[in-house]
């Protein structure tokens, strides 16, 4: 049974309640239906309809988000970092830090268009930091469990715009122009 089938029963129940003839209530001695019963019946119908609408909306939103996640995951190849290690997250001006990177292919196919892009945020870091490899073209992966081997990226603090500056360093793996993995860390520069 699919989720939409689960919605049909509560919706049909609400429609039945709204369109079916109500059971004949007992009449008051004056021959008229009590007003309280009418009000209670209308309130119950309104509550049932609102509940069904809320449940239906929640299920539809849930199904939509699951579908979106599946579409995003289907397009991203399973090529990911297995190593993304930083030796120092705090350095002084004139010092360097190294990042050791290793990437693995978990796809059962040859991948020949893969690269790592290193990004430092916020932009405008260039006068203060230098990075040895901002774009690394990865070697061809010849099948499942193929690895790049260790790749080293160095970041050197050339200066600092303040006594202490904090940057976010991101490593991103792209395969056939699709982002497949991302790692990041905070790098603090002190004067």
How would you write the chain as a 3-class SS string? CCHHHHHHHHHHHHHHHHHCCCCCCCCCCCCCCCHHHHHHHHHHHHHHHHHHHHHHHHHHHHHHHHHHHHHHHHHCCCEEEEEEEECCCEEECCCEEEEEEEEEECCCCEECCEEEEEEEECCCCCCCEEECCCEEECCCEECCCCECCCEEEEEEECCCCCCEEEEEEEEEEEECCEEEEEEEEEEEEEC
Number of domains in the chain: 2
Residues 46 and 58 in one domain: yes
Q: Out of 75, 104, 133, pick the residue that ends a domain.
A: 75
Residues 68 and 96 in one domain: no
- 128 & 56 share domain: no
Looking at the structure, do residues 93 and 63 belong to the same domain, yes or no?
A: no
Residues 89 and 181 in one domain: yes
Q: What is the pLDDT of residue 2?
A: 57
This prediction's pTM = 0.59
* Alpha-carbon gap, residue 171 to 164, rounded angstroms: 23
Residues 55 and 103 in one domain: no
Q: How far apart are alpha carbons 45 and 47 in whole angstroms?
A: 5
Tokens of 173: 């793996």
Instruction: Let me know whether 107 and 153 are in one domain.
Output: yes
The parent domain of residue 64 ranges over 3-75
pLDDT at 32: 56
Q: Which of 17, 51, 75 is a domain's end point?
A: 75
User: Average pLDDT in the 129-153 region?
Assistant: 92
Q: Over the stretch 7-42, which tens digit does the pLDDT of each residue have?
A: 566 666 666 666 666 665 555 555 555 677 778 888
pLDDT in tens, 77-112: 899 999 999 999 999 999 999 999 999 999 988 888
Q: Residues 158-183: pLDDT tens digits?
A: 988 889 999 999 999 999 889 999 99
* pLDDT for 119 beyond 70: yes
Q: Which of 75, 90, 114 is the last residue of a domain?
A: 75
**Residues 94 and 44 occupy one common structural domain:** no
Considering only CA atoms, give the Rg of the chain: 31
């Amino acid at each position: 049974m699919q989720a939409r089938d689960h919605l049909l029963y509560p919706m049909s129940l609400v429609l039945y309640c709204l369109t079916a003839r109500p059971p004949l209530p007992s009449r008051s001695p004056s021959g008229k239906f009590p007003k309280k019963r009418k009000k209670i019946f209308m309130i119950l119908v309104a509550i049932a309809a609102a509940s069904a609408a809320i449940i239906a909306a929640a299920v539809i939103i849930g199904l939509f988000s699951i579908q979106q996640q599946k579409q995003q995951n289907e397009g991203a190849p399973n090529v990911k970092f297995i190593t993304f290690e930083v030796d120092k997250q705090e350095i002084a001006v004139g010092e360097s830090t190294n990042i050791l990177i290793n990437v693995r292919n978990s796809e059962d196919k040859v991948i020949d268009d893969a690269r790592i892009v290193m990004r430092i945020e916020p932009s405008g870091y260039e006068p203060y930091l230098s990075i040895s490899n901002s774009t690394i073209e990865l070697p061809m992966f010849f099948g499942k469990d193929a690895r790049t081997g260790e790749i080293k990226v160095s970041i050197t603090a050339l200066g600092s715009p303040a006594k202490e500056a904090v940057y976010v360093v991101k490593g991103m793996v792209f395969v056939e122009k699709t982002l497949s993995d991302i790692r990041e860390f905070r790098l603090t520069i002190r004067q």
